[in-house]
Structure 1
Amino acid sequence: MLLAIDVGNTNIVFAICEGDEIRWRWRISTDGQRTADEYAVWLHQLMQLEGVERGLIDAAIIATVVPPTLFNLQRLARKYFNVEPLVVAVGGINLGLRIDMPNPAEVGADRLVNAVAAHAAHPGNLIVVDFGTATTFDVVSADGAYQGGVIAPGINLSMDALYQAAAKLPRIAVEPPGGNLGVIGKGTVHAMQSGVFWGYVGLIEGLVQRITSEINGPVTVIATGGLATLFNRHTSAIDSVDGDLTIRGLIRIHALNQGQ
């Protein structure tokens, strides 16, 4: 079985995969100071709860956008699972994509992994929207070239900044105004919900439209990340949602590099 590790700025997802199937997954907050031993204790306990034997793991792959985490995650794989992990990076491994960028090494591993998974699953030109700490829009051509994209502040980042910088504004949840309330706020919370939620819908629709105008031919928009399903219910800009896109990308990259 494959241990796939996806390190984001906010959380790390550990998934155990058998073939193309994601069998188990767990999430822990990202901390660059956490040791391999700490990861091992936490992960082993969760595996025991699910009845998963440590010896079943015979391969590992890591994608991280937080460099300080890499050493201890590699050590986790080597010391506790006796496997040499594959690390997603530009150069040295087969991604199954061309990277049409002046400096390919600048592209985040998470964005590349999402692009790999989306291209494998969907034909034609693609925009991959990932609702994470940052919201990213990545473009993949029909012939399998990563073209670049857009990075915007994540909605929770934007909300935290608003709450911290404005003394009289409360912290609110990410949701549209309830009931039959329109966009025009009739109170502080209503106004904030409209600005944050509908403002972000406008950002999604506006960027998708502008990106699409620079692409020749039809485009499919794939969304992933924790808030993808919520926004998909309130905009026609998204064609489909895949909450497992990043892990599926790690599975595919590992398959493309087996034996190396």
Structure 2
Amino acid sequence: MVAILELDQGNTRCKWRLLVPEAEGESRVAGRGVLAAEFWLGNDDFPSCWVESGVNRIRIANVAGAEREKQMAARLSGALGVAPEFARVTPHCYGVTCAYPEPQRLGVDRWLAVLAAYRRDPGPSLVVDCGSAVTLDLLGEGGAHLGGYIVPGLGLMRRSLYRDTDAVKVSPALVPRMPLSPGRDTAAAVNRGLPLMVLGAIERAYAELWNVCRDSPAPHIWLTGGDSAFLSTLSPLSDRFAHCVVDDLVLEGLALTNP
């Protein structure tokens, strides 16, 4: 069997999926999982399906730096005999134009997610990756990437409060569809305040996008990343905005930069 291994190497984890070809040029996901960010530094065995599936291509999105890229390339080439392909940001790809004057300074994960969103729906979109950081990218009419925003993610904000304050050391208590009314104790104030900040950023970015694309249909919101499913259940995102959670949005973009 011939297969394509795709990896999304972030700062705190590495998501992977294995694609195998089917009829008419389509592929199906034959396996998926998550590795620790430091996996490449050790001698842990690769998932058995990587070895058994006959991988002949490896596509990677890496935002963990040049040294991690070298580590990944060395281990994958040595163990699987396949030189991995690393996605790069370019000024134009798949009908999308990058807003950055220096495209290489845009995180490749953001670029891939925007490309995948455009492939799914070429209309105006807000693409939100809810990971260690929350990135919000605005995609306007005609595939025009308009730039974006980066704010701390839920875990990062919590760790900052825990580390840098004396009395705001609160354990997570994040439940789908939880209310975001004002907390009446410190734990509730933190656990409701953190998602409130992210949702506020989404609302503000959405308003900015729609102001630019006022003559188009209402923009769609695409959510991906580890906290996306949780945030999608919270009001006002859950009941006022057309949105979709796509776990593999970054990985989907790899087929566009590295077809």
What TM-score comes out, normalization by structure 1 length? Answer: 0.83
Partner SS, residue 32 of structure 2: strand
- 2:24 maps to none
- 1:25 maps to 32
Q: List gaps (5 residues or longer) in structure 1.
A: 256-260
Whether 2:199 is the aligned partner of 1:201: answer: yes
Counterparts of 2:197 and 2:222, CA distance in 1: 20
Task: Tell me, yes or no, if the aligned pair for 2:51 and 2:80 is still in contact at 8 Å.
Answer: no
The residue type equivalent to 1:155 in the other structure is L
Task: Tell me, yes or no, if the aligned pair for 1:176 and 1:194 is still in contact at 8 Å.
Answer: no
Counterparts of 1:166 and 1:199, CA distance in 2: 18
Counterparts of 1:117 and 1:98, CA distance in 2: 13
The residue type equivalent to 2:130 in the other structure is F
Counterparts of 1:34 and 1:52, CA distance in 2: 15
Task: Give the drift of 1:238.
Answer: 5.0
Among residues 47, 55, 75, which one is paired with 1:57 in the alignment? 55
- 1:85 maps to 84
Task: Tell me, yes or no, if the aligned pair for 1:140 and 1:146 is still in contact at 8 Å.
Answer: yes
The residue type equivalent to 1:9 in the other structure is N
Task: Tell me, yes or no, if the aligned pair for 1:117 and 1:246 is still in contact at 8 Å.
Answer: yes
Task: Tell me, yes or no, if the aligned pair for 2:40 and 2:71 is still in contact at 8 Å.
Answer: yes
Task: Give the drift of 1:109.
Answer: 0.7
Partner SS, residue 257 of structure 2: helix
User: Which region of structure 1 is more displaced relative to structure 2, 206-215 or 104-113?
Assistant: 206-215
> Per the alignment, do residues 228 and 175 of structure 1 end up closer, same or farther by CA in structure 2, a change over 3 Å counting?
same
The residue type equivalent to 1:168 in the other structure is A
Counterparts of 1:186 and 1:53, CA distance in 2: 53
Task: Tell me, yes or no, if the aligned pair for 1:176 and 1:193 is still in contact at 8 Å.
Answer: no
- 2:255 maps to 251
The residue type equivalent to 1:29 in the other structure is A
| Per-residue deviation, residues 40-90 of structure 1 (Å, max 9, x unmatched) | x431xx32xxx5644510101111111221012112232222222211113
Counterparts of 1:133 and 1:226, CA distance in 2: 8
Task: Give the drift of 1:211.
Answer: 3.0
What TM-score comes out, normalization by structure 2 length? Answer: 0.84
The residue type equivalent to 2:202 in the other structure is I
Counterparts of 2:221 and 2:176, CA distance in 1: 26
Counterparts of 2:183 and 2:177, CA distance in 1: 11
Task: Tell me, yes or no, if the aligned pair for 1:223 and 1:238 is still in contact at 8 Å.
Answer: no
CA RMSD of aligned residues (A): 2.5
Identity %: 23
Counterparts of 1:137 and 1:254, CA distance in 2: 23
Whether 2:121 is the aligned partner of 1:122: answer: yes
Q: How many pairs does the alignment contain?
A: 244
Counterparts of 2:113 and 2:166, CA distance in 1: 38
- 2:98 maps to 99
Task: Give the drift of 1:11.
Answer: 0.7
Counterparts of 2:171 and 2:207, CA distance in 1: 29
Among residues 2, 5, 11, which one is paired with 1:3 in the alignment? 5
Task: Give the drift of 1:178.
Answer: 8.7
- 2:163 maps to 164
Counterparts of 2:113 and 2:61, CA distance in 1: 11
The residue type equivalent to 1:82 in the other structure is G
Task: Tell me, yes or no, if the aligned pair for 1:60 and 1:84 is still in contact at 8 Å.
Answer: yes
Partner SS, residue 58 of structure 1: strand
Partner SS, residue 137 of structure 1: strand
Task: Give the drift of 1:30.
Answer: 1.6
Counterparts of 2:173 and 2:204, CA distance in 1: 20
Task: Give the drift of 1:231.
Answer: 1.3
Whether 2:136 is the aligned partner of 1:134: answer: no
Q: List gaps (5 residues or longer) in structure 2.
A: 22-26
